[in-house]
Amino acid sequence: MFSKLKEALTSFTKRISETLKYRELSSEEVEKFCNNFLLELVEADVAFDVAQEITESIKSKLREIKVPRGRNTEEVILDVTRDSIREMLNRGLSRNFLEIIKDTLSISKPVKIVFVGVNGVGKTTTIAKVAYMAMKNSLRPVIVAADTFRAGAQEQLKKHSANLNIPFIGGKYGSDPASVAFDGVIYAAKNGYDIVLIDTAGRMHVDVDLMNELRKIVKVVNPHLKILVVDALTGNDAIEQVKFFDKAVGIDGVILTKVDADAKGGAALSIILGIGRPIFFIGVGQGYEDLELYDPNTILSRIL
């Protein structure tokens, strides 16, 4: 995970600190180091505009840098680089997910969460992971498959629910997704469940239909949270997906999947920095336990 990005950052900080050991950096040198670094970031799959933002931020800090006596130069450069990236990663910070759930539960039960996102991003797996995490925290979830067009989605969720021993509410092929979602909420309310996790369709090629379908589900269910699931490997497309689903239903936050599969590291970083939305969790594997709270420091420690 993040190997190429890590390499780029390490060699950048090393090169600068080598020079700084002997004298201050000239502005030409700062420019040269940062331009090389920008190219390396792009090679590690960081989107160009994001790479530019990172290097501009580091550049402005480097121009004023003075290494205090007794401090290791490389550490000082590392700090500067870390600070720049951390400031940008903080854009993805959200309120703690479990706190949101618990606060909501104190005024309204069950907590209703609608998941949106394009097919294949890992939506059904993520719903199962969230259900598992909820159970680990003594909450009782129900899983609802309100994608009635894709038989595979129903089957997958049913299987996950059976594995986790969680009630599953599905619908017949072609039935009204909003009514399936509503049935799920009623079931949870009647039986004292804490959270209803509702899957929705994610076919992008019929934009208008999908938007209307999602809007109807949201109108009928009135969810507490609308979460977009995004695949870390999709690059710029992820930004378009955020726009599409935000326009359709308005999203409260994002779960970023497959961060573990981003071998170079730049793709995930670009999305985190590019979408500028709260990120509740990141997906780091295919198992139910492979879901982590989004934490800029954990991401940073993986990179640097």
Cα 172 versus chain centre, distance: 31
Where do contacts with ligand GDP occur on this chain (CB under 6 A)? Answer: 119-125, 153, 156, 257-258, 260-261, 283-286, 290
The answer to the question of whether 252 is labelled as a binding residue is no
Contact by Cβ (8 Å): 160, 183 = no
Q: Nearest approach, Cβ of 291 to ligand GDP (angstroms)?
A: 8
Contact by Cβ (8 Å): 245, 210 = no
The answer to the question of whether 250 is labelled as a binding residue is no
Run of H or E residues at 291: strand 291-293
Task: Using the minimum distance from each CB to ligand GDP, give the nearer residue, 34 or 201.
Answer: 201
Q: Nearest approach, Cβ of 160 to ligand GDP (angstroms)?
A: 9
Task: Using the minimum distance from each CB to ligand GDP, give the nearer residue, 16 or 251.
Answer: 251
Task: Using the minimum distance from each CB to ligand GDP, give the nearer residue, 96 or 286.
Answer: 286
Q: Nearest approach, Cβ of 275 to ligand GDP (angstroms)?
A: 17
The answer to the question of whether 257 is labelled as a binding residue is yes
Contacts of 220 (CB under 8 A, 6+ apart): 178, 179, 181, 182
Question: Strands (DSSP E) along 8-148, which ranges?
Answer: 111-116, 141-145
The answer to the question of whether 117 is labelled as a binding residue is yes
Task: Using the minimum distance from each CB to ligand GDP, give the nearer residue, 57 or 156.
Answer: 156
Q: Nearest approach, Cβ of 108 to ligand GDP (angstroms)?
A: 27
The answer to the question of whether 259 is labelled as a binding residue is yes
Q: Which residue is nearest to ligand GDP (CB)?
A: 283
Helices of type H across the chain: 3-20, 27-43, 48-63, 73-89, 97-105, 123-136, 151-164, 177-190, 207-221, 236-248, 266-275, 296-303
Q: Nearest approach, Cβ of 272 to ligand GDP (angstroms)?
A: 14
Contact by Cβ (8 Å): 259, 63 = no
Task: Using the minimum distance from each CB to ligand GDP, give the nearer residue, 40 or 147.
Answer: 147
The amino acid sitting at 15 is: R
Q: Cite the annotated binding site for GTP by residue number.
A: 117-124, 199-203, 257-260
